[in-house]
Chain A
Amino acid sequence: MYSEKVMEHFQNPRNVGEIDDASGVGEVGNARCGDIMKLWIKVEDGIIKDIKFKTFGCGAAIATSSMVTELALGKTLEEAEQISNQAVAEALDGLPPIKMHCSNLAADALHAAIQDYRRRNG
C-alpha cells in the first residue's frame, strides 16, 4: 500500500536522533491517531545546519519525518517554512489517502521547531 520511496525511508530513516545543543525544538501530537513527533534543528546564519527527529507512529509517520528532515537540511529558515505537507507527501511519491494526516505531523513539527527558534532569538 506504500510507495517504494515510503518504504525506503521507513527502512533507512535519515537524521534519526536528538541534538543536545539545538537552536529550536518542535513537538507535535497527532490528534487523529495519537502519534507524536519531535524535531530538533541547529541553525547557523539563518540556515538549518543540522536536523534530527524522533517519531512514535506508523510507517508513513516515520517516512514523512525522515523526508521532512531531508528537505529542510541546508535550507534557510524562510525556505524551510515554505515546506508544506503536500510537498512532503509528493516527495515520497504520494501517501495512501488515510495516511495523509501523517505528513501533516512532519511539516508541523518542522514549523514548530522554527517557531521555537524564533521565540528564543526573538
Chain B
Amino acid sequence: MQRIYLDYAATTPVLPEVLEAMVPYFSGEFGNASGVYSWSRTARQALDQARDQVAKVLGAQPEEIVFTGGGSESDNLAIKGAAWAYRDRGRHIITSAIEHHAVLEACHWLEGQGFEVTYLPVNGEGLVDPQSVKEALRPDTILVTIMHANNEVGTIQPIAEIGEIVRDTKAVFHTDAVQTAGVLDINVDHLNVDLLTLSGHKLYGPKGVGALYVRKGTRLVPMIHGGGHERRRRAGTENVPGIVGLARALEITHSERESENARLQALRDKLISGLSAIPYTRVNGSLAQRLPNNVNVCFEFIEGESLLLTLDMRGVAASSGSACTSGSLEPSHVLLAMGLPHEIAHGSLRLTLGRGTTEADVDYVLGEIPQIVERLRAMSPLYRG
C-alpha cells in the first residue's frame, strides 16, 4: 500500500542536505562551544555561521537571534520573558483567539500571575482585524502577540499592518512565524515585529530546536538560568547539530520558496476544488490570505477521527479539529473562534502539503475521500441523504 503523508504542518522530514550538514557535529566535532580549545572553536564557528544564516533570512543582526529548544520554548520565552521584563510599565497583553496553544497557555499562565489578557476575535475566515488591535491597545499594554499564519486553517494575518499600529505605542510586538518561516517573507523590518518565533522541524530541519528573534533594545527576562549562553537570554550548552540543521533548513526553504509555493498552491487548489465538489462540504479559512500548502474542510454529518482512521487504513496521514481527536475532547478552538458550530467542527479535515507531495498523491486522495465520506455518512444518524 502506498503511504501518503499530508500532515506537513505537524512536522516535516529532515532534508538530506540538512542532515548532512548536521552529522559532523554529533561525534567528530562534538566540542562544547564555551571552551578555549580547538574543538570549541569549531563548534563556535558553526554556531556563528548558523546565527548569521538565520539573521540574514530575517534581515536581522546575528546578536538578535537566540537559539532555543523549539517553537513552544521560543513562544514562552517571548511572552513570559517580555511580560516579566515590562511588568513595571503595565500588565496588559493582547493576543488572538486562534493562537497556538504555546501562546494561549503562556497567556493563561500570566493571567494567574496578575496580568490581564485580551483575546481578540477573528472573522469567519479566521482573520484578525488590525483595527481591533488598535482599539484594544491601552496605555498599560506591554505586549501584543499575533501569529503570522494559523497552523490549522492556514490564514495569513496582516502582521505588517498590525506591527505598524503597535510601533506607535510602547508595547512590544511578537509573532509566531512557525508556519511561515521558509514559506513567506519573514523579514522583521517588513513585518514590523520585535520578537519572532521559529521552529526547526516545521521547515525540514530537526525537532527540538527553535529560534527567537529579539530586536535590539527589547528586554526579556530569561526563563532558563544557568550560564551566559545566548547573551544570557537562554542558558544551556548549545545544541550545535540542531542549530546547524535549523539554519541550513531555513536557508534552503527560504531560497526555494517561490517555486515551491507555486507548485504547492496549484496542488492545494486542485484539492480544495475537488473536495468542495462533495455535497455538504465547506472550506475553512480565507481563500485569498492562505498558506500555499493548507487545505481545511468540514464534511457535515461525519466526525473527523473516524475519517482519519479510514484514511490511515488507506495509507493517508492527515489531521482533524474534531473533539474526538483532541486529548481534552474539545473541538478546535480555531474553528470555534471562526464561528463554526461544534457538530460541524467535528467533521473537519486538515491536509497540509509539502515537498514530498506529488500530483499523483492529490489524485489518489481525491479518489478516496468522497467514498470515505459517503460511507461514514451512511452510518450517521444526522445524514438524510
Contacting residue for B309 out of A33, A59, A98, CB 8 A: A59
B106 interfacial by beta-carbon distance below 8 Å = no
B324 and A57 contact, CB distance less than 8 A:
yes
Q: Determine whether the beta carbon of A34 is less than 8 Å from that of B343.
A: yes
- Report the bound CA distance from A55 to B331 in whole Å: 18
Question: Is A22 in contact with chain B by the CB < 8 A criterion?
Answer: no
Please name all residues of chain A whose beta carbon is closer than 8 Å to the beta carbon of B306 when the two chains form the complex: 10, 57-59, 61-62
B381 touching A55 by the CB < 8 A rule? yes
Give chain A nearest CB distance to B58 CB in angstroms.
Answer: 39
Tally of A interface residues using CB under 8 Å: 23
Which one of A35-43, A69-77, A82-90 is at the interface? A35-43
Instruction: Answer whether residue B346 sits at the interface, using C-beta atoms and an 8 A cutoff.
Output: yes
Among B323-368, those with CB < 8 Å from A are: 323-325, 327, 329, 331, 342-343, 346
Question: What chain B residues lie within 8 Å of A10 (beta carbons)?
Answer: 306, 309
Mostly helix, strand, loop or mixed at chain A's interface? mixed
Q: Which of B301, B309, B327, B331 contacts A56 (CB 8 A)?
A: B301
- Binary per-residue interface labels of chain B (312-328) against chain A in the complex, 1 for a CB within 8 Å, 0 otherwise: 01000000001111010
Cα A92 to Cα B380 with chains together (Å): 21
Cβ contacts A46-60/B at 8 Å (1 or 0 each): 000000001111110
Additional pairs, 19, CB under 8 Å, beyond known A55-B381, A56-B303:
A10-B309, A16-B378, A33-B322, A33-B324, A33-B331, A34-B323, A34-B331, A34-B342, A37-B381, A54-B380, A56-B301, A56-B302, A57-B303, A57-B306, A58-B305, A58-B322, A58-B324, A59-B306, A61-B306
Q: Which residues of B contact A (CB under 8 A)?
A: 301-303, 305-306, 309, 313, 322-325, 327, 329, 331, 342-343, 346, 378-382
Query: Chain A: residues with CB nearer than 8 A to chain B?
Result: 2, 7, 10-11, 13, 16, 27, 32-38, 54-59, 61-62, 98
Subset of 10 A-B contacts with CB under 8 Å = A34-B331, A35-B324, A35-B346, A36-B381, A54-B380, A56-B346, A57-B306, A58-B306, A59-B305, A62-B379
